[in-house]
A = this chain, B = another copy of it.
Amino acid sequence: MKRYRNGEIWDFEYEMPLADGASGVVLGLDGGTTTTVCICMPMNPFSNSQIESLPILARAVAGCSNHNSVGETAARETLEQVMADALSKCGSKRSSVRAVCLAVSGVNHPTDQQRILNWLRDIFPSHVRLYVQNDAVAALASGTMGKLHGCVLIAGTGTIAYGFTEDGKEARAAGAGPVLGDWGSGYGIAAQALTAVIKAYDGRGSSTTLTSSILQKLGLSSPEEIIGWTYADPSWARIAALVPVVVSCAEAGDEVANKILLDSVQQLASSVKAVVERLGLCGEDGKGTFPLVMVGGVLEANKRWDIGKEVINCISKHFPGVQSIRPQVEPAVGAAWLAWNSFMKEFQ
């Protein structure tokens, strides 16, 4: 166990009693592109069916921990600090930790996973079980009570589909960012809407009520000003915040907005279909049941034009056994459940 180089993060441990009689705790982390959440739960030997009744001992929140966005050093500091905060809040220390599941965005390759595992290994005593996953996996677990089985579709600012079979095969689709065509995401929908405004203005596309609605929302007076607006700060979340405007225009009957949402439904459904087919989640006859966990602002029921519902309708046509789930807990709880489950499996 190394002490952190600035020598402060773990200082609270020295002020705690030496004896630590409890059966220990697990940590679940959900590290997204805007916030990182760490949940601490007790390692009580409940049976699997009771996992949802495990109490949350502590919850800590920090900023972005995606190493692609903020760099390796800042990401590591953020993750270490948020774990220390959670343990400190519930009066536990690293020696009480039995398992950690770190589900963080930007884990796209086994080398990413291994790098983060090596570094976690330096922080915790050697008996602690460590699991590193893409943040999508925590979202899946939040809908399946910590079981890695089925598919999750996330559509917020970005989008990804991720799935697991019961025997541990995994597959993903999308989740590669807007440069690489995540067009069903909130960013994708909003960028298509902005493009439609520019095309209507310069004569390449049909006129649309998106023009007046988006200009009003952004406080701009002409579509030309949108160019400067996007250059000024091309952050994906800032652009994705325009999704409700697109939904409103579609609900009011705008054809261009409607087509953008229909395209987005197709894109999102195609990600799920790709994962389900590669993993054979639907069984050999294509009618097997499997859970589809739906997460993210784009999939939440918006008034009449419900993107999530349309995606499920589209997927049901191909896979009648799909069982959609909208989780009642946050992904960090899913990560903690996952840590708990993985630990129990290893020591059964």
Contacts and interface: CB of A to CB of B under 8 A. Distances in A.
A10 to B, nearest CB: 31
B202 A171 contact: yes
A204 B271 contact: yes
A270 B204 contact: yes
A231 to B, nearest CB: 4
A122 to B, nearest CB: 23
B203 A181 contact: no
Interface of A: 68-69, 106, 108-109, 112, 171-181, 191-192, 194-195, 198-199, 202-204, 222, 224-228, 230-232, 234, 239, 270-271, 274-275, 277-278
A227 B180 contact: yes
A54 B274 CA distance: 62
Nearest to A109: B224
B172 A198 contact: no
B108 A227 contact: yes
Given A108-B224, A228-B109, A181 B202 contact: no
Given A180-B226, A230-B180, A173 B202 contact: yes
- Copies of chain A in the complex: 2
A211 B269 CA distance: 24
B171 A198 contact: no
Given A108-B228, A227-B108, A227-B176, A278 B181 contact: no
A234 B217 CA distance: 28
A69 B179 CA distance: 19
Contacts of A171: 202-203
Given A109-B225, A173-B204, A203-B277, 5 more contacts: A68-B228, A174-B204, A175-B227, A202-B274, A204-B271
Contacts of A108: 224, 227-228
A179 B230 contact: yes
A173 B109 contact: no
A253 to B, nearest CB: 23
13 contacts: A68-B231, A68-B232, A106-B231, A108-B228, A109-B224, A171-B202, A177-B231, A179-B194, A179-B195, A179-B234, A179-B239, A181-B199, A204-B270
A239 B69 CA distance: 18
Given A179-B191, A228-B108, A234-B179, A274 B204 contact: yes
B180 A194 contact: yes
Nearest to A232: B68
Contacts of A239: 179
A158 to B, nearest CB: 11
Nearest to A183: B195
Given A203-B278, A277-B203, A278-B203, A198 B226 contact: no
A262 to B, nearest CB: 17
A271 B194 CA distance: 17
A231 B230 CA distance: 18
Contacts of A177: 227, 230-231
The CB with the most chain B CB atoms within 10 A, among A180, A239, A278, is that of: A180
A28 to B, nearest CB: 25
Contacts of A277: 203
Contact of A202 (B68, B174, B178): B174
